[in-house]
Amino acid sequence: MYKQAITEFEKAAALEKDDSNWIASLGHAYAEAGNRIAAQKKLDELKRLAKEGNFSPYQFALVYAALGEKDQAFESLDKARQERSTLLTYLKMDPRFDNLHSDPRFQELSRRMGFPQ
């Protein structure tokens, strides 16, 4: 139901200008729906917000994971771990990262974070 999700995320993002959570969720939905150009534009918005300090690398990882760019997703997740992002508490249950679970780097990241294996 990507089309409906995109519609709702667009509404939320319009109400909450520069909210990195909505921008990342919208970028993820665009990528999952196959709209790589729109997803990349959301990554560009996140990069702009990152310069202002209003973001978590976790949010980049959401979009990268949906784009299938696993190396960048894991790099962003590791940065989030180093910064002790509270968003990482959702990592193992966030279905938006399901495509990373089978990668050995996911288990290693979970182990480094002290999550039960």
pLDDT digits (tens, 9 = 90+) for 8-65: 888 988 888 888 889 999 999 999 999 999 999 999 999 998 888 767 899 999 999 9
Torsion over CA: 63, 30, 99, 94 (sign): positive
Q: Which amino acid is at 46?
A: L
Give how far Cα 96 sits from Cα of 53, 64, 82, 92, Å.
Answer: 24, 10, 21, 10
Could you list the residue range(s) of the whole structural domain that residue 15 is in? Answer: 2-113
3-state secondary structure of 81: helix
Number of domains in the chain: 1
Q: What is the pTM of this model?
A: 0.91
Average of per-residue pLDDT across 83-109: 93
What is the structure's pLDDT at 100? Answer: 96
Across all residues in the chain, what is the average pLDDT?
Answer: 91
